Every structure is written in C-alpha cells, then in structure tokens.
Amino acid sequence: MKKLNISIDVGGTHSRLQCEIIENETTHQKSAEYKAVIGDKIALEKFIQSSIKDFTDLTP
C-alpha cells in the first residue's frame, strides 16, 4: 500500500514542509523541502495545499 507522508514544521521565522511516498515501509521518493513565511491559519492551509498539489506527479 502506498502512503503519502507529510512532515510540517511550523516555526517562528518560516515554516517547512516535505512530502514522501512510502510503500511497504520503504521510502520511494521525497519532495524538496518547501519553505514559506506563515502568518495565520489560512496561509498555512494554502501552503499545505499548494505543496501537496506539486507532489502529485511523484509515484514509485
């Protein structure tokens, strides 16, 4: 079974997000680390959605 793992670090200066595809407990591909300045919940939601959208072309 394939899973999309999303790691998010919400920090004071900027936030970071990285995605990876895991299948059978093995990491197949990782995205670049996305960084953005996040000021509120709406900006965080948009940051997550745009980062995941960019990751849809990665398949093992």
What separation, in Å, do the N-terminal and C-terminal C-alpha atoms of the chain show? 11
Of 21, 25, 27, the closest CA to residue 4 belongs to 21
Question: Reduced to 3 states, what is the DSSP secondary structure of residue 58?
Answer: coil
> Can you tell me the distance from the alpha carbon of 53 to that of 25, in angstroms, rounded to the nearest whole number?
23
Chain segment 1-60, per-residue pLDDT in tens: 888 888 999 988 899 999 888 888 888 888 888 899 998 999 999 988 888 876 665 554
Is this structure's pTM higher than 0.85? no
pLDDT on residue 28: 82
pLDDT on residue 35: 93
